[in-house]
Amino acid sequence: MTPLPRSTSLLLNLAHAIDHMFLLIFATSVAAIATDFGFARWEDLMPYGVGAFAMYGIVSLPAGRLGDLWGRRRMMLIFFFGMGACALLVALTHSAWQLAAALTLMGVFSAIYHPVGIPMLVQRSARPGLTIGFNGLAGNLGVALSALVTGALLKYAGWQAAFAVPALGAIACGVLFAYVAPAESIAPGRRAPTRAMLDRRALAHIFAVVTVASISGSLLFNFTTNGNGELLRERFRGIVEDPAALGMLLAAVYVGGALAQVTVGMLLDRVPLKTLYAGIVVVQAPLFLLAANATGWYLYALMFAFMIVVFGAIPFTDAMIVRYVDDRMRSRVSGMRLAVAFGVSSLAVWLLGPLVKASGFRTLLLLMAGIAFATFCVVMLLPRSTMGGLGADDAPAPAVD
């Protein structure tokens, strides 16, 4: 099968950046929106964003099914135009409940990308690990852009512009994608199998472990990416207080974490998944414990470190699906995994404000240390593998511990 055109691959990676950036504009601008809507504290407005993250998980299931059976190209067009329209809608809101409704609708369209865009990107890749690594880099550069662009737009144009300007970019990307993405002659789910599937017991074991690990990993991702901005603002009080400067500091953290994913992607093509995954998650808990009481530049250094390992763990669930699931079913399997993982992890967004308000960021960081340890325990239940990476499509079923 011929590789995707470079322009299409670029837009699929850019879509990952859009997906993560748009969902985090609210978290970065929540203090400004809370003030505009008459809330005394940003923590009181934060739960209104939970609908977006709930839909991010729930809608992954039908999105994956439609991607396999209706077509991934069509679904990605809906993604680009839907995200742009919803971000414009958010910019027009005037109350907390209007905001909640618009963000929830945005979550519906944001759910399309992971079960559809990533399988579309890797389906023709000769080095899927590296492809996943670069895709992860793009997604987390979107997280960095959310901090950087939103911080600048908040300072110079207001929170409405922080949603409206990226919205126009997403719509423009949709127009380009319609022009350059090759047509699908047949939907992936209707093609002939390209590899031998695992037996049902081995596949169920892998799916269960990957889903649980994905839940805990997604909880850490949501707690950190939605809370880091306010954590930095609180613990840099008297050191750096300018919103744009804080946005640049936070963007640098996310860029560092995103770059780590390229290294992980390269290693995924060479190193057994379980060994690499366990080696990354084992250092998460100690870093969160150290950060619990840290302030100033020491906290910033620890934030840099723990975001490297939080982001570095992200590619593994997609890598497992690429490694063991035939392309004609990948969107549906991804959708099932994401529906559970993102649906449960959306609780992090709902809990973040009330938890920090009641107990502070120290308690939140201690909770994240516990979640990180649980992730490590789950990763150790992954099956043994003698394979060195993702390259073998016809590999036998792994031994189940």
pLDDT at 1 over 60: no
Spell 341-377 as b/e; 16+ CB within 10 A means b: bbbbbbebbbbbbebbeeeebeebbbbbbebbbbbbe
Domain 6-183+197-379 bears CATH identifier 1.20.1250.20: yes
Phi first, then psi: what are they for 384, rounded to 5°?
A: -65, 150
pLDDT at 84 over 50: yes
- What is residue 111's predicted lDDT score, i.e. its pLDDT? 92
pLDDT at 396 over 50: no
- What is residue 390's predicted lDDT score, i.e. its pLDDT? 55
Token code pair at residue 88: 């414009």
Residue 217: pLDDT band (50, 70, 90) is confident
- Give the orientation angle of helix 327-345 with respect to helix 200-235, to 10 degrees: 40
Under a CB-based contact definition with an 8 Å cutoff, are residues 341 and 207 in contact? no
* First and final C-alpha spacing in the chain: 35
Residue 206: pLDDT band (50, 70, 90) is confident
DSSP structure string for 277-335: HHHHHTTHHHHHHHHTT--HHHHHHHHHHHHHHHHHTTHHHHHHHHHHS-HHHHHHHHH
Under a CB-based contact definition with an 8 Å cutoff, are residues 37 and 160 in contact? no
Higher pLDDT, 202 or 275: 275
Please tell me the distance from the alpha carbon of residue 367 to that of residue 185, in angstroms, as a whole number. Answer: 49
- Give the orientation angle of helix 113-122 with respect to helix 6-36, to 10 degrees: 160
- What's the mean pLDDT in 12-30? 90
CB count in 10 Å sphere of residue 30: 24
Please tell me the distance from the alpha carbon of residue 401 to that of residue 399, in angstroms, as a whole number. Answer: 6
Residues 111-168 have pLDDT tens digits of 999 999 999 988 877 777 888 888 888 887 887 788 788 888 988 888 999 999 999 9
Under a CB-based contact definition with an 8 Å cutoff, are residues 162 and 154 in contact? yes
pLDDT at 291 over 70: yes
Q: How many CA atoms lie within 13 A of 388 on its CB side?
A: 3
Under a CB-based contact definition with an 8 Å cutoff, are residues 372 and 363 in contact? no
- What is residue 99's predicted lDDT score, i.e. its pLDDT? 94
Domain spans in the chain, listed from the N-terminal domain onward: 6-183+197-379
- What is residue 197's predicted lDDT score, i.e. its pLDDT? 60
pLDDT at 286 over 80: yes
Q: Which residues pair with 399 in a beta bridge?
A: 384
- What is residue 394's predicted lDDT score, i.e. its pLDDT? 37
- What is residue 40's predicted lDDT score, i.e. its pLDDT? 84
- What's the mean pLDDT in 5-31? 90
- What is residue 107's predicted lDDT score, i.e. its pLDDT? 93
- What is residue 177's predicted lDDT score, i.e. its pLDDT? 96
- What is residue 192's predicted lDDT score, i.e. its pLDDT? 64
CB count in 10 Å sphere of residue 161: 17
- What's the mean pLDDT in 249-266? 83
- Give the orientation angle of helix 296-312 with respect to helix 284-291, to 10 degrees: 160
- What is residue 300's predicted lDDT score, i.e. its pLDDT? 92
- What is residue 380's predicted lDDT score, i.e. its pLDDT? 86
Token code pair at residue 5: 């055109």
pLDDT at 288 over 90: yes
DSSP structure string for 72-123: HHHHHHHHHHHHHHHHHHHHT--SHHHHHHHHHHHHHHHTTHHHHHHHHHHT
Under a CB-based contact definition with an 8 Å cutoff, are residues 163 and 88 in contact? yes
Q: What percent of the chain has pLDDT over 90?
A: 31
- What's the mean pLDDT in 357-367? 89
- What is residue 195's predicted lDDT score, i.e. its pLDDT? 60
Find tokens 């470079």 and name the residue.
6
Higher pLDDT, 361 or 76: 76
State the sign of the Cα–Cα–Cα–Cα dihedral 103, 106, 107, 110: negative
Please tell me the distance from the alpha carbon of residue 199 to that of residue 183, in angstroms, as a whole number. Answer: 33
Average pLDDT, the chain: 84
